[in-house]
Every structure is written in C-alpha cells, then in structure tokens.
Chain A
Amino acid sequence: MLCPADTPEGEACGLVKNLALMTHITTDDEEEPLRRLAFNLGVEDVSSLTGSELYQPNSYMVFLNGLMLGITRQPTEFVKDFRSLRRCGRISEFVSIYVNHHHTAVHIASDGGRVCRPLIIVENQKPKVTSEHIKKLKQERMKFADFLEQGLVEYLDVNEENDSNIAIYEREIILQTTHLEIEPFTILGAVAGLIPYPHHNQSPRNTYQCAMGKQAIGAIAYNQLRRIDTLLYLMVYPQQPMVKTKTIELVGYDKLPAGQNAIVAVMSYSGYDIEDALVLNRASVDRGFGRCQVMRKHVALMKRYSNGSFDRIGDPPVGAELQTGPSAERFNILEKDGIAGVGERVNPGQVIVNRHTPTNLNANIPINMPIANAPAIQFTWKHAPLVYKSPEPGYIDKVCITTTEQEQTLIKTLIRQTRIPELGDKFSSRHGQKGVCGIIVPQEDMPFSDAGICPDIIMNPHGFPSRMTVGKMIELLAGKAGVLKGELQYGTAFGGSKVEDMSKILIEHGYNYSGKDYLTSGITGEPLSAYIFFGPVYYQKLKHMVVDKMHARARGPRAVLTRQPTEGRSRDGGLRLGEMERDCLVGYGASMLLMERLMISSDQFDVHVCEQCGLLGYRGWCQHCKSSKHMVTMQMPYAAKLLFQELQSMNISPRLVLEEF
C-alpha cells in the first residue's frame, strides 16, 4: 500500500509517505444499495434492538461506513455472501467488508479515501487466475476489468487485507489462504522501484536512493525541448540502465532515463578518491559522460499602467551612441527588435531584452482623449533592461513572445548552459552511494583490462563494507553479464536475474565468475597486484554542481544597516567567521587576528566618544555635555555603535568608560 523505502530523511521522516506501485484510492460510493443488501442478507435493524440482543455471544454488530445498521447472528456467512456478491459484480469492487472479532462487529466500508490494491483470489487452495487467463491477457483478449468481473482478482483495502491470509507465492498456499499476491515487488513505489536488487541492500540505502533519484539529471519528457521552465536540467546523452527492473519498464523510466552506464573499477587510485570521491576518466568526460544542459528562463513583462502609458522595447543603441561609453558591449547581442538573438552567447551583465519604462507613472492622462491628440503627449522613458546576471555565460536557446490574459506582452527567453563534469560535481549510483568527482584523470593514466577496456569511473572499495550495498555489486555483475551477452538484465526486487546465472554467462564469455578482471596500471604499465571488480554500473549525475555553488570574495557589497559584508553567494557575500571559529581563535589567543577578522575586515567604524559622559558624540562634539573638551576618537564595529544607539532609543543609556591602554 505504502512504499516502505520512500520517505524523506530528517524532519518529515515517516510523516511524508509515498504510494506503492499497485495502490488505488477509492472514491465515495452509494450507501443505499448496500444498506438494502445488508438487510436482505439477514441483518436485524438497530431500532428494534435492546441491550441483551446487542451483546449476545454470537451476534455481531453490522456497521456501514461507521453507522450501525443492526446485528447479524451469522457473521461468517454474512461476510462470505457479501463477498461473493462483490466478486460477481453486483456491488462496487471497492466496497470492503471485514469482521472485527474484538469488537464483535462486521464493518462495511464504501467511503472514499481508502487505500486498496488488487489481489488474486484463492479458493480451495487454488488461485483462480490460471496461465490460460494470462495467455488471454497477453493476446489482449482479456483486460484487467475482465479479471475483476469474473471474480479472479479483487481489491482489498487495509482493513480487509488484515482479515485475509495472503500468500506471496503459489507454493506457500495453505488451507487458510484466501488470496495470492500478484507480484511481491509491488510493495515498493515508483521511485524505489528503480533500484536494482533492493532486497540485497541495507534498508537505509534504499531510502537514501529514493531521495537522490529525484535529484538526478536526465530526460524529463518528450517535449522537454519545447518547454520554457524556470529551471530545467537535461542530460545530453541519457542511457537506459543495463540492469532494469520491471518497475522501470512499467513507469517508463527506460524511455526517459536519468543516468548513464559507467564502467566502474572498484579500486583505490591516487588518493583523490577518499571519502567517497570518484575518479573520472578524462576521455569519457570528453565523449560526453555526465554532460548536462541547464536551461534557465528569463522573463520580461511589458506592463500597461493605469494612466495609459506602457513599457516598450527600445532599439539597441546604434552608431555614435553605441561607440561611446564602456557599456557598449552590453548591447552587443541585441537584434533590431531589441531582443537578444537566438544562438547568441550571453555574457554576464549583457542585456537580453532592452526594455524601457515610462518615467511618469502617476501623470494623469485622460483616458478618453481622442486618439488624434494622443501623439501630443510626450512620454519620457528610462532604461529598465532585462540583464543576464548569472556568473557563467550561456547561449540564447529560445525566445517566446506572447500575450498574457491581461493583454500584456510577455517575453520569455531561455538561456542554455552546457556543463561538463568537473571537480566537485556530485554523482551517485542507484544504491544511495553518492560521491563527488575528486579528480579527472587522462585516459592514458587509467588502468585498463586485457580487453583494452578503460573504466569511466574508479570507485574506492571503502564505500562497500560499512554501507553494505550488496545490490550494487550484483548490479555490476548482472550488468557485465548483460553487456557480454548483449541483452539487458533484470534486477527486480525479490526476483531478477540470479547471480548464479550471471556468473555462468561470465564464464561462458571467458571472464571470471566473480566479475573480477586482470588490470594493468596505466601509470607504470605493470599488472595491478590484485584482480579488480570491474563492470558497468548505472550512475546518475545529481543536480548539485560546483559552478552553482563555488564562491569566494575579497571585497564586496555590505549590508546597509550593519555595514557588515552581505551574506550568501547570490549577493556576493563574505564568508562568515562564525561563533565556533571565533571560539577557536579565542582559545588559541590570536587576539590580533580576531580583531582583524571581526572588526577591521568587517565593519570598522570611527566613533567619537566623550570621556566625561561616556556617550557617543559626533565630529568631536558631545551633544550631551555640549562641549568638545573630552572627545576622543576610537574604532569599534559599526554593529556595536548601532547597538548603543538602539539602546538609547529605548531609554537605556550605555556609557563607555575609556582607559589608557
């Protein structure tokens, strides 16, 4: 019903859930026919009951959607009859009925919002669905609705499910069995269903993958290149995974994948791979491994104002106007219509849409003035261009000019950046094993196998023991077998290609059964002293990329109020020397450094202090003492000065006592 793996970590853990693959949620259903049916099946009406009848040992109360209908003396027969009527389609397939022996009650539910799922009915220890039926299904002579109609399959909601005995496999059917599971892997949801061999992984790893699978860059939809979204990440060469699952095929992930099959060598290399860092092959990167495009939307709305004026697109400055001034370059990419041309390279600071807005928005121009007089009004305009602000250059991918509901012109431009993997970009396999790229090594320095295969990724084996992601190892094995045999393998949960079969395929093709290969070092040219676990693993590129996060500043903008450096990359902010870092410096005793970091480099301010009254003055004058006799200047953080003044404003007078130091 609900996916056991897919829940976020941290705050909302266990409160946000996801539906499993085969669940359905009911809608409301008519009560009246059910009520009539219940009475026909021998329910005694409530209004004719007394206490003694209510609690007779073998009488069960009958509830319909929480409302008591009456009692029945043969609950088992009642429920059985009711179910058989449902199975032959006399009542809706989503009506559930179950017995609660603790409360001696039979509950019938037809209300909306119950989770339910289909199961195969088992009668006399035999599932009612046979291979014949499946054959007909394959030939499209039967549909799912037919299975319901013929009483082969039925929906059970949570309560009724608890009242049934459900066998997972045919061989487990015993006398009491009432239902048979359609497929055990449907316990997982659509997102967890992407993981190959999840039943071999430690369970938190599957949960981590569920969170990460949603951040993977890949294909979005077939219309992805026609969309203009605020932010769109697209992978340039996405591949469907070598090791699929049934879920992948069912949800269509093989058609819109988010990742690539990378040849992985599990070995240590160079020391740039500690703490889950990955070593990438430069040649693979050049061939397009992990390459992605980022499309960002920039919108300019041509507003109409209440006084009849409106925004306009100005011509790009021409001739002398363009030649003069240092900002000439800003308008380089504009075409004659004042909008940047498609295909142009946009550098930071360049104008995309040369918009002008009227200066006088309040001037009242009579609306119902004859049009002939209109040119008499002279609007003055000011520049309000749409400027490209991202620190990285991009290319104009698309320009869309349209109108909104309010008849205003809307100009959307889509700017594209192509990103090649670089140091610090985040990658992940499908087993919650994330890592950043630690180094990109030229192919000639990478190890290679006797078949001449070079890995795309080198992964440090220390990632395995503590994570216990055996599924990843099996994925590698199955992937390798699939590559050699030329077919895709399945890693479906509780099923999928067996390791034994995979090993057989490997042996048939002259490889070691365990997936280990003989590798030669690319640096020394000597054989590596161990066999290396080597094969394809599906890797996802995650949306966290270094270019979006990289940030440093020497000097820059300051906040107006405190005069301290601004915060955050988007505001070109400073890097904070925080409380704990401060504690370190205090503990070390580096007082000069502290002074420099916390005041001189931040918000140093010269204040004039009156030694007599201890209050702040201004330009050598103490307004409190009305004199300039005892004034001294000193430096303090602007924030401290601000604090003093704020305290004064609330009738607290902070006084400074100055001493010679």
Chain B
Amino acid sequence: MGKKTVTFADDKNSEIKNDYEKFKKSSTAIESMTAPIKNIEDKWQLLPAFLKVKGLVKQHIDSFNYFVETELKKIIRANDMITSDVDPSFWLKYLDIKIGPPERPDTDHDAHQNVFTPHECRLRDLTYSGNIYVDVEYVRGKTRVIRKDTIIGKLPIMLRSSKCVLTGKSDEDLAKMFECPLDPGGYFIIKGTEKVILIQEQLSKNRIIVEGDKKGLVQAYVTSSTHERKSKTYIVAKNDGKNDKITLKHNSISEEIPIVIVMKAMGIQSDKEIAQLISGGNQTFLSMFSPNIEHAAKIKIFTQKQALDFIGSKVKVTRKIANVRRPMAEEALEILATVVLAHVPVIDLNFQPKVIYIAVMIRRVLMALANENLVDDRDYVGNKRLELAGSLLSLLFEDLFKKFNFDLKLNIDKLLKKPNRASEFDAHKQLMQHGDCITNGFVRAIATGNWSLKRFKMERAGITHVLSRLSYISALGTMTRITSQYEKTRKISGPRALQ
C-alpha cells in the first residue's frame, strides 16, 4: 500500500516536471501570457508552516516577548536617574534590566532544586512570575558603586513566552511537567487562576482622522501619543453658514483658538504664506479659507508676539509650582511646542514641521467640507490598532516603575535628611525594600482586570478574563477575542448596523 502511494506521487512529480519542461521550451512571450496559470498544489501547506511561527495566539506571546526584551529596556532608559533634593552629590542610575526565569516564592527554605512549573502554580494557587533584576550605579559615601542583579519586584510571566520554562521543550518534557503540548500558552497564572489579557481595539494614535456630523460640523483630530504625553488636538470647522471659522481645540487651552492665530503664533506671520500653505494655489480652498485670515486681521493680530499673547491669555496653567510666573507668551509658546500635537517634534523652536502638519489638517477639513465622502470611517480596521498584553503591561510597568522611583526618592531624601547616621548610607537597601509595590501592582491589575494609571488618566475595567476551560476550543476562543474600547461611549453605529 505504502509503495503504491509512493510510486503514484513520483508519477505526479514527474508529470509536473514534464509539464514544467514543456512549459520552459514553449515559453514565448505571448504563450506564457495566455497559458492558464497552474494551481500551486498543496499551497495550504504554507499555513501550518505559518502557524508554527505566527498566528493563533502567537501574537500574545510575540507582544509579551517584545515587552520583556525591548520595551522594558526603553522604559528604564527613559527613567534612569534618581537624584536627591537633599544631597546634591547623590544619584542613582539604572543601567540595565532583565527578567529572570519563574521562581517559587518560598524557594529559600525549599532546598530541592526542581523547576517551578506552571502546573504547580495552578495547583498551589501561586503566581507564575519571575524576578525583575536591575543593574544600578549609585553613590555611596564618596565612591561610585555598581550593583548587579538587584531584585525590584516580580513580573507575571506569560506561558510559552521566551521567559517561560515551557518554551522549546519537547512533548515528552512537557508531559513530565504535567503540561499539555497542545495548550497554546499566551496567558498568565495569577494566584492559581489562568488569566488572559484580551486584545483591545482602539483608534489609531498619531493619525489624522476627519469626521463630520449631521449638523455640518467637520473636525480633524489627532490623538498624539508619545512616551511623555498623551493629548488630543482638534481642528474644528463649523459649517453652519454664519460662523465658518476654523479653530483649534485642545484640552490645555480654555477656548477654541482661530487657526490663523495659531499659525501666526508658530511663526508664519505673513498672510500670503498661510494662504499658500493651505490652498497651494487652489482657488476653491482659498476662498473657503479666506474668512479666517480676515478674522485674524479684524481682531488685530498680525505678528507672532500678538498671537502668542492672545493664546497665552487662554492657556490653562496647571503647573503646581507657580512661584516662577512666566510671561503668558512664553507659556503659549511652550504649550504650542510640546503639548499641542505632541507627537510632532519641535526642535530648537523650529515650528515648520508642525505648521505644515496643521496646514495638512486644515486642508483635510476643507476637503471634507467640499466633499462629504472624504471623511474618514472610524470603524474601518485600517484606522484601528489592536493593543496586546505587551503594550498594556508596558503601560502598567512604566506607571509602577515611576511610582517606585518616586517612593524610593522620598525615602532616600528622608534618610539623607538625618544629620548623623550610624552607618554609611547605602541606597541599595532602600532599593530592595520596595519590591512589593511593583509585584502587587501587576498581580492586582491582572487579577482584577482594572488598569488604572494615574499618569495617563487611564481607568479601564475588564481588561483581563479568566481563561475559559470549558473545552479546548473555548480556551482558544478567549485567546483570539478582541474587545472594543468604545462600547459605552459610542452611539449605535457602524459595527452594529447588521440585519
């Protein structure tokens, strides 16, 4: 029987080869164009090959790996220095960070050195997590000390990720660890329960999205997101006939600012240049936009200084240390440079890229005003980004790490304030003491599914789900599920418009 099939396959292959030879011989240009394209046999074999490396639940694992291997280092690099307000000569610097393999929490008095398996966590209601090690450099007395592998907390480890003991194990080894070889991984074990961080769907960051409503209001907005800041900038055009000004709306400015004033404040003082940037010689757009230029002239704002003063009077001052009051114009300049459209960098007050960016936004608004079809579809998947475990954890870690550093600094300051210390001050001890803050932060967030980050004013519930083990398929199903962030706020629209 086996023989038979082999010969059959050979026949087939030789047939293909023959065909191929024939094809080669007769491949004049015209013939090759007209010859029907042969089906690629068994092309579906690419699928299992694909699924070996990507797909199904691998996106969770890839995302987590990226977080552990790359993102963590970036976060550390962005917040690497701790200084003291008390002792100016003191500083502490994080050099490196790494995640250790999962470890048993009570390992010190547990002498036997067998591996800590996920299955043990499930049975013993433990958390499957590995230590976060950092290398620090700091000042002790008058010397600079480098300490390696200091534990600052524990990070829950995703099953089958690069840090998990199950990766790269054969089926036999897995069986020894009481683990199912078909289990896809991609979830966490928190206090013995299996938790999945669901894929979150949200609108793209840093992209211009134009939307209109029935009342004729057209706005272009960008959700800027950088490591330091998240902000949303609107450019609004009310097309209700009488009041057709285009304005800029932003949370840090109390009123909508006429767009021409914003552009003037950014250093484009000549009306002609503004008109040029927006219309580019197109008469329709020019005539649509000209009332805005006129309006700026009417309220007598011609120069950058005037424009900055105008905006400065409307800026919401939120800084706590208000002892150094700066001129309003300066305030306005800073806000325009760093907060409005935060993702467009302004280097050495060169506003040119940002002005052009605003011009493009205005242009998009004008285009949408002229042609209703040019508004963007917010439900289009191309305008969406899916947030996975890695990016959610990195947000959480950044927040926890900043809090950790803040607490550490407070503690160091408190200790340094004491005039005479018995022993030499060693920041390393302080570093070790705060471990629970990060550990508990992770465990609490994943266990409850509440992501509350003060820094970004993010308060999300229901991020994680218990991995449903009703059947193998239901487990897979929870891993591939995508939830939408806009559920509550959205009016019934696009995605629900089914029959």
Q: What residues of chain A have their CB less than 8 Å away from a CB belonging to chain B?
A: 1-3, 6, 12-19, 21-25, 27-28, 46-47, 49-52, 54-56, 61, 65-68, 102-103, 111-115, 118, 120, 125-127, 129-131, 134-135, 137-138, 143-145, 147, 153, 157-159, 162, 169-171, 173, 182-183, 186, 189-191, 194, 210, 213-224, 226-229, 232-233, 246, 250-253, 255-256, 258, 400, 402-405, 407, 410, 412, 543
Contact = CB atoms under 8 A, between A and B. Distances in A.
Contacts of A186: 47
Nearest to B127: A405
12 contacts: A13-B498, A51-B277, A114-B386, A126-B37, A144-B54, A158-B382, A190-B476, A228-B122, A246-B47, A250-B47, A405-B106, A405-B126
B341 to A, nearest CB: 10
Contacts of B199: 19, 25
Contacts of B386: 25, 113-115
A224 B46 CA distance: 31
Contacts of A228: 122-123
Contacts of B367: 102-103
B343 A16 contact: no
A540 B498 CA distance: 28
A14 B37 CA distance: 39
B30 interface: no
A221 B277 CA distance: 63
A68 B472 contact: no
Interface in B281-324: 281-282
A359 B88 CA distance: 57
User: Chain B, interface size: which category?
Assistant: 35 or more
A402 B124 contact: yes
A125 B41 contact: no
Given A173-B37, A191-B477, A402-B124, A223 B179 contact: yes
B40 A66 contact: no
A68 B360 contact: yes
A118 B50 contact: yes
Contacts of A47: 350, 352-353
A598 to B, nearest CB: 39
A222 B123 contact: no
Given A68-B353, A127-B40, A190 B56 contact: yes
B424 interface: no
Interface in B74-89: none
Given A67-B344, A131-B41, A162-B382, A25 B63 contact: yes
A253 B204 CA distance: 35
A598 B175 CA distance: 60
Interface string B177-216: 0111111000000000000000101001111100000000
A21 B182 contact: no
Contacts of A158: 380-382
B407 interface: no
B472 A219 contact: yes
B133 interface: no
Nearest to A161: B382
B228 to A, nearest CB: 16
B482 interface: yes
A138 B45 CA distance: 7
A115 B482 CA distance: 12
B388 to A, nearest CB: 6
Given A14-B498, A47-B352, A214-B471, A183 B47 contact: yes
Given A144-B50, A217-B471, A221-B183, 15 more contacts: A16-B481, A17-B481, A18-B481, A22-B51, A67-B357, A113-B387, A137-B45, A158-B381, A171-B36, A171-B39, A189-B480, A215-B470, A219-B471, A224-B180, A233-B470
Interface in B30-80: 33, 36-56, 58-59, 62-63, 66, 70-71
A182 B44 contact: yes
A113 B470 contact: no
Contacts of A68: 344, 353, 356-357, 360
Interface in B101-125: 105-106, 119, 122-125
Interface string B461-487: 000000011111111110011111011
Given A221-B472, A227-B122, A258-B471, A159 B382 contact: yes
Contacts of B388: 25, 112-113
Contacts of A50: 273, 276-277
B343 A67 contact: yes
Contact of B49 (A23, A115, A137): A137
A113 to B, nearest CB: 3
Contacts of A131: 16, 38, 40-42
B496 interface: yes
Contacts of A145: 53
A410 B343 contact: no
B269 interface: no
| Most chain B CB neighbours (cut-off 10 Å) among A6, A46, A55, A405 | A55
A409 B477 CA distance: 35
B168 interface: no
A125 B43 contact: no
Closest 10 CB pairs of A and B: A55-B280, A51-B276, A113-B385, A221-B180, A66-B206, A51-B277, A14-B495, A214-B474, A256-B472, A158-B382
Nearest to B74: A28
B40 A170 contact: yes
A54 B359 contact: yes
A191 B482 contact: no
Contacts of A400: 123
A55 B123 CA distance: 65
Contacts of B344: 67-68
B278 A51 contact: yes
A226 B176 CA distance: 12
Contacts of A210: 477
A218 B381 contact: no
B405 interface: no
B124 A403 contact: yes
A103 B472 contact: no
B450 to A, nearest CB: 19
Contacts of B52: 143-144
Given A173-B37, A215-B474, A134 B43 contact: yes
A46 B472 contact: no
B369 interface: no
A182 B483 CA distance: 27
B75 to A, nearest CB: 13
B374 A15 contact: no
Contacts of B477: 6, 18, 190-191, 210, 213-214
A199 B470 CA distance: 27
B233 interface: no
| Most chain B CB neighbours (cut-off 10 Å) among A16, A56, A224 | A16
A28 B473 CA distance: 30
Contacts of A250: 47-48, 51
A138 B222 CA distance: 48
B127 to A, nearest CB: 8
B390 interface: yes
A296 to B, nearest CB: 13
Given A17-B482, A51-B277, A65-B206, A218 B471 contact: yes
A446 B397 CA distance: 64
Nearest to A213: B473
Given A17-B201, A131-B16, A410-B124, A114 B385 contact: yes
B364 interface: yes
Nearest to A191: B477
B15 to A, nearest CB: 11
B273 A258 contact: no
B231 interface: no
Given A22-B50, A67-B206, A144-B46, A218 B123 contact: no
B219 interface: no
Given A52-B276, A66-B207, A27 B470 contact: no
Given A18-B481, A27-B390, A50-B273, A226 B119 contact: yes
A42 B221 CA distance: 29
Interface in B328-372: 343-344, 350, 352-353, 356-357, 359-360, 363-364, 367
